[in-house]
């Protein structure tokens, strides 16, 4: 598919088939999502990937069973893959404390950054994952974690100092 066609056909999918995403397809999406620009070539991001039954840990931490009964997008819970792009602020502070970046003053602490590039770079990765999914014939939805972030981080073992930018549901769109 041509890039312009991928961008034009992108839409957020809120209802998925439970059909698993083939491993090679998922790996192509993840590979592209990891090849994004990064401030100072820091590469301070991780992609936490949950497949199949692993996705229950996410939903158990973020959507209580009593809320599921009235959840407006029940087909979202069928997404066979969830990807959580996670930024690592400490990696950026450390990178900008190195000799070639020290003059920026950004290597002191997170507060020195007027624009926290760990969010920017991690969002780049999320966008590439969304576009790559379209190129692979999949559907995707990016959504926020909001007040559930601490519970999600705890349930999935994401270190407290890391910063998820949201969650991507991935799979085959339900017709």
Phi, psi of 17 (to 5 degrees): -75, 150
Q: Give the three-class secondary structure for 4.
A: helix
In tens, the pLDDT along 146-158 reads 999 999 999 999 9
* pLDDT tens per residue, range 9-58: 888 999 999 999 999 999 999 999 999 999 999 999 999 999 999 999 99
pLDDT value of position 126: 98
Tokens 């069928």 correspond to: 78
pLDDT tens for each residue of 63-96: 999 999 999 999 999 999 999 999 999 999 999 9
Q: What is the pLDDT at residue 26?
A: 99
Burial 92-104, CB ≥16 within 10 A → b, else e: bbebbeeeebeee
Domain count, the chain: 1
Global pTM value: 0.94
pLDDT value for 11: 86
Q: How confident is the model at residue 5 (pLDDT cuts 50, 70, 90)?
A: confident
The dihedral through the CA atoms of 13, 151, 107, 49 has a sign that is negative
Range of the domain at 96: 3-171
pLDDT of residue 1: 78
* Whole-number pLDDT of residue 32: 98
CATH number, residue 36:
3.40.109.10
What local confidence, expressed as pLDDT, does residue 51 receive? 98
Q: Is pLDDT at 116 greater than 90 in this prediction?
A: yes
């Amino acid at each position: 598919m041509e890039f312009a066609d991928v961008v034009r056909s992108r839409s957020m999918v809120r209802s998925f088939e439970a059909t698993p995403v083939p491993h090679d397809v998922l790996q192509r999406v993840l590979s592209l999502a990891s090849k994004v620009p990064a401030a100072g070539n820091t590469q301070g991001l991780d992609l936490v990937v949950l497949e199949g039954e692993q996705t229950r840990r996410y939903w158990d931490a973020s959507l209580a069973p009593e809320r599921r009964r009235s959840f407006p997008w029940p087909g979202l819970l069928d997404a066979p893959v969830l990807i959580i792009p996670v930024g690592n602020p400490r990696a950026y502070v450390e990178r900008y404390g190195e000799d070639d970046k020290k003059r920026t003053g950004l290597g002191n602490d997170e507060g020195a950054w007027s624009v926290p590039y760990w969010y920017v770079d991690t969002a780049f990765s999320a966008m590439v994952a969304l576009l790559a999914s379209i190129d692979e014939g999949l559907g995707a939805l990016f959504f926020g974690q909001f007040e559930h972030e601490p519970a999600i981080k705890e349930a999935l073992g994401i270190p407290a100092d890391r910063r998820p930018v949201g969650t991507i549901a991935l799979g085959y769109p339900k017709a």
